Structure 1
Amino acid sequence: MPGNFQNNVNYCKFYFIFADINHAIMKTVLSIFLSAISFVGISQNLTDSLLLYYPMNGNCLDSSGNGFDAVVVNADLTTDHNGNANKAYHFNGIDQYIDWPNDTLLHPDLPVTIAFWVKYDVNDYLMSFLFDTDYAENNYSGIHVNLDPGMRISFAFGDASGSTAPSARRSKTGTTVIQTGIWYHIIGVIRGATDMDIYVDCINDGGTYSGTGGNMEYTGSPGSLGRVDTDVNPGPPHYFEGSLDDFRYYNRDFSSSDIEKLCPFNSIFETSIDKINSYPNPTMDYLSLDNIDDDVKQIDIVDIFGNIVMSYSIETSLNVSGLQPGIFFLRLIDANGSIKATSTFVKL
């Protein structure tokens, strides 16, 4: 009896210690979950401050409700980012473009958010000038987007001072090297000269600032898709060669939760691509992965703000002990930069 009694006492001690540990874990998980719910909830409707929206579903009519239908000049309908025929526009890099109306509402002050799908045909930054919200000859004004010589996405605004030199603009250039023949979802949030965010496929792309221009100004010209005039000499503008789809233009800042709402199939919370098993979940130090495809070359850990916080070469056991407690997302990337599989885990 004394032996059995002692065993029962030890069992009870173990049970209550185990229960206390589980209770602490559940409190931590609940706290993390409630924080994430709070984060997701602080956002606006995607129609708030939407200036114009071109889904490009067989035409370039404005779906924002503001009536800013565009005029298509030679651009051809093409297959969109979902594989649907005649649901996007292709530009030949020679003489094709789309102009939207010249209205003061489309010349807003900062902040501005612009989102779109794009696919580049050629590895030539001189044929990457995608759009200008104030198309003026030989004059940086409004906001324009292009690739830099390293094929990285760049958002810029001009001060309308009559120049196309760096002294007339403010720019931010991302870090992702854009590949030809691949659809990318791009979001640019422009708040000020050194306060911009670029998202490539829903991931904050970081980047560097350049230019010494003044505040953003306009010349009173209409915006144009498919061309930007950055040449100080008389001559044709730079035309875009590639495809454009689902173009949105907002007169407001976007929070991280707004970005998440706008993110397409490969968002950080939901995805239609493959899932991968990760365990234990929640975890405090190591996370194990099962059945990694042979074509996966990199594993990224992404936080709820869309930032890559860790990257690994191919490993089946990841050391995550250095992460702060929270909800994180795994992305398994192939050699082409495409997401092959995802998973979600909680770090205690």
Structure 2
Amino acid sequence: MRATTTLILGWSLNALAQSPCLTASYPFTNNANDVTGNGHDGTVVGAALAPDRFGNANSCYQFDGINDHIKLAGTWPGTNGTITAWINPETLSQFNPIFSRRDTTMNGNALELVVNSAGGQDDSRLYNGTDQRDCLGGSALYFTNSDPQIQPQVWTYVAMSADDAGIHLFINGSEVSTYGTANPGFWFDDMCPASINTYIGMYSRPINTERFIGRIDDVKVFNCALAPFQVDSLYQAEAFPPTCLLAHYNFDGNANDATGNGHDGTVLGATLAPDRFGNANSCYQFDGINDYIDVSGDWITGASTNGTITAWVHIDDLDDYRPIFWHTCGNCGGDALGLSIDCAACQDVGRLWSVFDDRACGGHLYFNITNNPMPAGVWAHVALVKDDAEVRLYVNCVEMAHYTEAWVDPGLWFGDLCGNAPYTTTIGRAGPEYFKGRIDDLRIYNCALDEAELLALCDMTTAAPVARTETHLGIYPNPTTGSVTITGLPASASTAPWLLVDGTGRTWPLVKGTGFGTHTIELGAYPAGLYLIRVGEVRMTVVKE
């Protein structure tokens, strides 16, 4: 008997947004280290660890507004970029710098994300700093948000992005201000080659120094400009408590559990390989013969009866059973929880399946996907979600199958498994069967993610490619009252999933045509609103009137 569960899902948000342009990430869990591994670790001066926005102890930093700050190491490249952070200012009666990169000359060449009281008239103003790329004093890029959305002693999500068209400010996922000129962008590579310091919670120049008063958490720096819907997706994903993330394997150089919950893996044969973005040593390759990762340990204590598994997989072939994650007890009649791909005698290659409800040491759940959504040789995102009503399987964030039964609680999770017998937990292996291909960004949650949370993960994994791809596309009429025509689609659209996503994150599959390059989609049956059309990694927005 096999017990397994398969799903697909995209990019995570909790502590690490997996993106090729993520330069630095500071979850501030017990320290100020940059968890991307890019070497931008922070040196804490005075700031104290404090509870974060979810009440988790030692998970953000408190700044006193007098002499506290964090100085960041490393080099900071890029001509476009994005900075995001969660802030809780104690007061808005002073200048509150969140992130700054500033030279030490009198002119004060700088890139900053700041909350500026400006004499108390517009207490919530965000501000970008000065553009002195000519190194001769330059001109100020200064713009404000006059709607006071930032309040003292309230957690708020802020972001700033710079692209070739302008600089954009965001509050709680919504764009609130834009600045543009003939050459409006300003990022790290535009700064004068002087002595430059990079800080969180402070900016400093010869004539004055300002410091943040309050708490700062989850600072992220990207060297690409995130699109507005991507900023909103990141906000939505980070706004819910991340405490249900039980284990996260980003496989950046090792098989450690990035959550700090202690589910570190022991690698047995599998080798580091390029991930889906081409980054070296950022996923694991399994040979299908004897490679796997052992993550055995205590998965039962405090376990929920609901949960989610997500992963990115690149299968070399579908000639056999391909286990992704497996948690099993060999002494309980095959009692197991797993996520696998099974060719089922190769009749329906690429099927995802979820089986084995042995909470009473008997019986099983089995269902499959017969439309072959997972071809070999390409990256796919899989996810399994179990809640009190059903078990659902997703491929690239599209629900492919669900299972319900007459039980009040039909699903199966760690807290349902029978007895206290010893369990074996593995990645890439289920008994005598092994995964063949690459696995990346595997996550196990102790709660059932909803569709909006799954979609946010999928969107964020492709942050950089999205911006580049959209510039070659056409979509008209936009707005529309019925159909829209899309031009410039790549050849990969012929095999990619097509999705329509509304503002709440709800998704519908779209019927794709056979002629690519140009295609017409009918939206007349959908309610008015802003929609995202997804064709593989291509993203387009359209307004339905």
TM-score (norm 1): 0.71
State the 1:44 CA deviation.
4.4
TM-score (norm 2): 0.48
Secondary structure of the 1:263 match is helix
2:170 — aligned with what? none
2:242 — aligned with what? 47
Question: Which deviations, in whole Å up to 9, do the C-alpha atoms of 1:297-341 show, x marking residues without a partner?
Answer: 378341233533431314544332122223322234xxxxxx263
1:85 — aligned with what? 280
Determine if the alignment matches structure 1 residue 224 to structure 2 residue 426: yes
Determine if the alignment matches structure 1 residue 318 to structure 2 residue 514: no
**Which residue of the other structure, out of 314, 324, 328, is the alignment partner of 1:130?**
324
State the 1:197 CA deviation.
2.7
Q: 1:106–1:198: structure 2 CA closer, same or farther, 3 Å change rule?
A: farther
Q: 1:173–1:48: structure 2 CA closer, same or farther, 3 Å change rule?
A: farther
Question: Which deviations, in whole Å up to 9, do the C-alpha atoms of 1:143-171 show, x marking residues without a partner?
Answer: 212223221222335315556xxx33354
2:17 — aligned with what? none
1:207 — aligned with what? 401
Q: Quick check: 2:390–2:404 contact (8 Å CA) kept in 1?
A: no
State the 1:210 CA deviation.
8.6
Q: Distance in 2 between matches of 1:180 and 1:345?
A: 32
**RMSD (CA atoms):** 3.5
Matches within 5 A, 1:115-126: 115-126=310-321
Q: Quick check: 2:326–2:426 contact (8 Å CA) kept in 1?
A: yes
State the 1:60 CA deviation.
0.9
Q: 1:45–1:269: structure 2 CA closer, same or farther, 3 Å change rule?
A: farther
State the 1:113 CA deviation.
0.9
Q: 1:137–1:111: structure 2 CA closer, same or farther, 3 Å change rule?
A: same
Secondary structure of the 2:454 match is helix
Q: Distance in 1 between matches of 2:483 and 2:251?
A: 46
Q: Distance in 1 between matches of 2:320 and 2:366?
A: 18
Q: Comparing 114-123 with 140-149, which one deviates more in the overlay?
A: 140-149
State the 1:187 CA deviation.
2.1
1:155 — aligned with what? 354
Q: Quick check: 2:310–2:384 contact (8 Å CA) kept in 1?
A: yes
1:183 — aligned with what? 379
Q: 1:158–1:95: structure 2 CA closer, same or farther, 3 Å change rule?
A: farther
Q: Quick check: 2:325–2:429 contact (8 Å CA) kept in 1?
A: yes
Q: 1:158–1:343: structure 2 CA closer, same or farther, 3 Å change rule?
A: same
The one-letter code matched in structure 1 to 2:326 is: D
Q: Quick check: 2:309–2:384 contact (8 Å CA) kept in 1?
A: yes
Q: Quick check: 1:117–1:246 contact (8 Å CA) kept in 2?
A: yes
Q: Distance in 1 between matches of 2:501 and 2:340?
A: 28
1:103 — aligned with what? 298
Q: Distance in 1 between matches of 2:429 and 2:440?
A: 15
1:308 — aligned with what? 508
Q: 1:320–1:61: structure 2 CA closer, same or farther, 3 Å change rule?
A: same
State the 1:114 CA deviation.
1.1
The one-letter code matched in structure 2 to 1:55 is: N
Determine if the alignment matches structure 1 residue 280 to structure 2 residue 477: yes
**Identity value in percent:** 23
State the 1:120 CA deviation.
0.9
Q: 1:269–1:323: structure 2 CA closer, same or farther, 3 Å change rule?
A: farther
The one-letter code matched in structure 2 to 1:180 is: A
Q: Quick check: 1:172–1:196 contact (8 Å CA) kept in 2?
A: no
Question: Which deviations, in whole Å up to 9, do the C-alpha atoms of 1:249-268 show, x marking residues without a partner?
Answer: 11011122321332255669
Q: Comparing 64-73 with 45-54, which one deviates more in the overlay?
A: 45-54
Q: Distance in 1 between matches of 2:294 and 2:280?
A: 22
Q: 1:174–1:52: structure 2 CA closer, same or farther, 3 Å change rule?
A: farther
Question: Which deviations, in whole Å up to 9, do the C-alpha atoms of 1:87-107 show, x marking residues without a partner?
Answer: 211222222221113214478
1:168 — aligned with what? 364
The one-letter code matched in structure 2 to 1:345 is: V
Q: 1:108–1:156: structure 2 CA closer, same or farther, 3 Å change rule?
A: farther
Q: Quick check: 1:301–1:328 contact (8 Å CA) kept in 2?
A: no
State the 1:293 CA deviation.
4.6
Q: 1:242–1:107: structure 2 CA closer, same or farther, 3 Å change rule?
A: farther
Unmatched runs of 5 consecutive residues or more in structure 2: 1-173, 175-228
Secondary structure of the 2:296 match is coil
Question: Which deviations, in whole Å up to 9, do the C-alpha atoms of 1:107-139 show, x marking residues without a partner?
Answer: 82321111111111122232x122212353684
Question: Which deviations, in whole Å up to 9, do the C-alpha atoms of 1:28-60 show, x marking residues without a partner?
Answer: xxxxx9xx989x748744732111111111211
The one-letter code matched in structure 1 to 2:298 is: D
Aligned length: 295
Matches within 5 A, 1:258-277: 258-265=453-460, 271-272=466-467, 274-275=469-470, 276-277=473-474
2:444 — aligned with what? 249
Secondary structure of the 2:442 match is strand
Q: 1:101–1:138: structure 2 CA closer, same or farther, 3 Å change rule?
A: closer
Unmatched runs of 5 consecutive residues or more in structure 1: 1-32, 230-236, 333-338
Q: Quick check: 1:50–1:249 contact (8 Å CA) kept in 2?
A: yes
Q: Distance in 1 between matches of 2:281 and 2:506?
A: 31
Q: Comparing 299-308 with 253-262, which one deviates more in the overlay?
A: 299-308
More helix by share: 1
Secondary structure of the 1:321 match is coil
Q: Quick check: 1:172–1:210 contact (8 Å CA) kept in 2?
A: no
Q: Quick check: 1:152–1:177 contact (8 Å CA) kept in 2?
A: yes
Question: Which deviations, in whole Å up to 9, do the C-alpha atoms of 1:185-234 show, x marking residues without a partner?
Answer: 22221125x61233322x323225499998541444131111123xxxxx
2:335 — aligned with what? 141
Q: Quick check: 1:157–1:169 contact (8 Å CA) kept in 2?
A: yes
Secondary structure of the 1:113 match is strand
